[in-house]
Chain A
């Protein structure tokens, strides 16, 4: 089945640690996105990438880093510089073939800082 997978589903981090969230897609989509979701705030864009080896900051990139070495993969690292990392993180992907093609979302990773 084609789709987007995120792992792990739940992640616990101690303060001061960096953690990496995985996002993989087998939809052959060009673009991939990372969003952060907090209660009552909707989704906010962290980073996005339209092609391999290229990515752009979204609205809340501080304290996060990404890489795009393969088309299928777009891992997100939450660094110790992120002051309030506890949140639900969603990855999405999209084809660039047509304007406003739908973004498809993964199941999410819930990160909790202990």
Chain B
């Protein structure tokens, strides 16, 4: 069975500082990996996804993530955060076998709190 662990429930950071949100997954098969962002009382918006190819994936709003197969990680990074990046971030995984169903397994979420 697959699982996703987001290692930090909350990450406080000052504006313009770099940030890394950590995500580890467990799966016995190859996977697709996703990061979503959720602003308060809203739905989820896709930030980026890894399907294959280059392990460094660039997304919207200046975010990027690196897939590390040996460490089964998919950490999200941004070199300089803004107040507007304050939100909850979810890492998710879908295996090739369930790709036709699109079933996603989500981590517990990380709240990014950007302080002025």
> Is B43 a contact partner of A40 (Cβ separation < 8 A)?
no
Asked whether A71 is an interface residue with its Cβ less than 8 Å from the other chain, the reply is: no
Interface-centre pick from A42, A45, A48 (highest chain B CB count, 10 A):
A42
Q: Which of B42, B45, B94 contacts A100 (CB 8 A)?
A: B94
Q: CA–CA, A101 to B104, complex, Å?
A: 11
Q: CA–CA, A114 to B48, complex, Å?
A: 38
Q: CA–CA, A43 to B94, complex, Å?
A: 14
Specify the main secondary structure of chain A where it touches its partner: strand
- The residue of chain B having its C-beta at the shortest distance from the C-beta of A41 within the complex is B108
Q: Count of A residues near B, CB < 8 Å?
A: 30
A88: min CB distance to chain B, Å: 8
Q: List chain B residues, Cβ under 8 A from A113.
A: none
Q: List 24 A-B contacts (CB under 8 A).
A: A6-B43, A40-B9, A40-B108, A42-B107, A43-B92, A43-B106, A45-B103, A45-B104, A50-B100, A56-B101, A90-B43, A90-B44, A92-B43, A96-B100, A99-B96, A100-B32, A100-B49, A100-B94, A103-B104, A105-B36, A107-B42, A107-B43, A108-B42, A110-B41
